Amino acid sequence: MNNVIINDRFWSGKQKLLVSTLIPYQYSALNDEIVGVEPSHAIENFKIAAGLSKDKFYGCIFQDSDVGKWIEAASYALSIKKDKKLESKIDKIVSYMQLAQQEDGYLNTYYICHPEIKRFSNIVHGHELYCAGHLLQGAIAYYKVSKKDKMLNILKKYIDLIIKTFGNNDNQIKASPGHPEIEIALMELYELSKEKKYLDLTNFFISVRGEKPNWFESEEAFINAEKRYFDLSYNQAHKSIYEQEIADGHAVRALYLSAGAAALAKESNNTKLYEVLKNNFNNTINKRMYITSAFGSQGYAERFTVDYDLPSDRAYAETCASIAMIFFAQKMFEIQPLHIYSEVIEKALYNTVLAGLSLDGTKFFYVNPLKVIPIVSKYRQDMSFIQVRRQAWFGCACCPPNIARILGSLNKYIYVVKDDIYINLLIASTYNFNNNQIKLKCSIPNSKSISLTILKAMREKIYLRIPKWVDKVIVKKDEHISYYQDKDYLCLYDIKDKANIVLCFSFTPKIIYSNSRVSNEVALSYGPFIYALEEVDNVSDLSSLMIDIRKKIKIKKEKELNGYVSLIAEGFIKTNNELYSYHKPQLTKTILKFIPYHLWANRDEGEMSVFVNYK
């Protein structure tokens, strides 16, 4: 991460927002300083567990995880801009952790504050392992940026206790985490330390899933759950990992599990596991993914349902699920550099992830529907989870710090180094490596010109991804470099000192047709952005609009909302005042304006729709 510097017109602004607003705002939220929102109490809980406060634990059972994610995001912010005051805030929280940690290494504020509840007695819903994973990721990120190892040592001691507690021996718990996540963190710790015990624990957590007898079925929390939607598949514990070729259950849990398993497959060279995950990935994106690279179609139990069940107006599409898919796809690419993995990462970043954040960085979406009629979503019980405005915070606030940490770690998704170097995201940046340097200059979609400069000669090839939304690539200029286009990549080779290549990507607005089992309407895209209609730009009843797909779609550069490219299309307003009628509706010509989906709800409250009828 430290070797990649982003200097992109679009994404640099997001990272500056992270440093200037997101990190301070979220720190205030975790300290209960935001007026008018449900208190977090997350940092206070550590002070209570440390004996520094007489208050009582408050919040979700997994409240510790928000602190871990915030520390991880804050560490990335420090790598972007040094800040001693921010560093001291992290150090203060770490001091609470050190005081709160039990003699045997245990660290979870909910159970420390509730000593009457037995530790590790509720694996299915207790979230102890989930919280440990997020705290560990925060510790690793902070160590990499600051070289301070206090938090890392605290978490390593806790992980040693978990290693002692979980396993196949008679005196151990033979169970996988109810909420996968620690698997990702353990693999990061293994990559950092190369200590095999972390790899072994990950392998245990992955391989014990689906084994009989299943530990969850003996736990009170599972026994008393409503089984239709909270059965073993909810926790991905219904089958062996080698039989799970369909994304099932809680969407975030399923994708976190897949990300951890992919990291394990990579480090252990487990080709069998990779092939299973590959089938799972393909099924997910081809049958269970929203057009915005969002996941989870049912609000109740936050889960996957069945193939092609992707309702727009009741989409749960949790922000965390898209972020989990980014983790999954990145690890899969590191095993086998397939174009589709990067396509999904790009679509998730530019659409669902950004939609979860307001332009000012202080409001958030947990749920990301593709169609909203405010009066309906506010009334219907089965849409009670739909918000028509981003929220200042949540009682369950997993998404805001997750957005912060993905924006802060964006650097590591641009370049992937295997035997050769892959450039997967068209984000203007500088990559320094082995006394060499790659400069990528671009500004998608405002400018279609892309240049790549390499400081010194190199024997490795560079593969520049050609996105599916690009119609044609024209090489305008190339010096000290050779190239050929290999399907999804432009391959650069025979690279000499001061090599330079200039490209022009030709691309136009695209009409996207859905499988008929999803929708009989169309959506629009331009570059990596999916577009949406918003009431403020059109009419009050978006369902009355039809786009004329025979006519050319125009692009227009706008000044509002930090500047963006809108799409202008010709179409019709369909008028039928009767509830049901034998008469064909009247069509009146009109102009439709579409904005990037991630920008919706930054202006007046109103309807929004990604899909539109067509003629």
Which residues, including other chains, have CB under 8 Å from residue 555's CB and lie 6 or more apart?
509, 526, 565, 566, 567, 568
Positions marked catalytic = 302, 398
Cβ-in-10-Å burial (0-12, 13-18, 19+) of 157 comes to: middle
Cα-Cα-Cα-Cα dihedral of 350, 353, 356, 357, to 10°? -70
Cα 439 from chain centre: 26
Tell which CATH classification among 1.50.10.10, 3.40.1080.10, 3.30.70.520, 3.40.50.740 matches the domain 4-413.
1.50.10.10
Residues of the chain falling short of pLDDT 50: none
Please tell me the predicted confidence (pLDDT) of residue 487: 83
For residues 531 and 491, the answer to whether their CB atoms sit within 8 Å is: no
* pLDDT at residue 500 in the model: 96
What residues have CB less than 8 Å from 111, skipping those under 6 apart? Answer: 117, 119, 126, 128
In DSSP terms, 326 is beta-bridged to none
- Token match 């089938």: residue? 279
pTM value > 0.75: yes
Tokens of 189: 């710790």
| Coil vs helix vs strand at 66 | helix
Tokens representing residue 607 in the block? 């309807």
Residues 545-584 as b/e (b if ≥16 CB within 10 A, e otherwise) read bbbbbeeebeeeeeeeeeebbbbebbbbbbeeeeeeeeee
63-79 tens-digit pLDDT: 999 999 999 999 999 99
Domain boundaries, the chain: 4-413, 417-444+446-506, 510-614
Provide the CATH topology of domain 417-444+446-506. Answer: Immunoglobulin-like (2.60.40)
pLDDT at position 227 is 87
Q: Cβ–Cβ contacts within 10 Å for residue 120, how many?
A: 17
- The number of helices, as runs of H, and strands, as runs of E, in the chain is 18, 21
* Contact between residue 57 and residue 114 where contact means Cβ atoms under 8 Å apart: yes
Is the separation of the CB atoms in 606 and 374 below 8 Å?
yes
DSSP secondary-structure letter at 80?
H
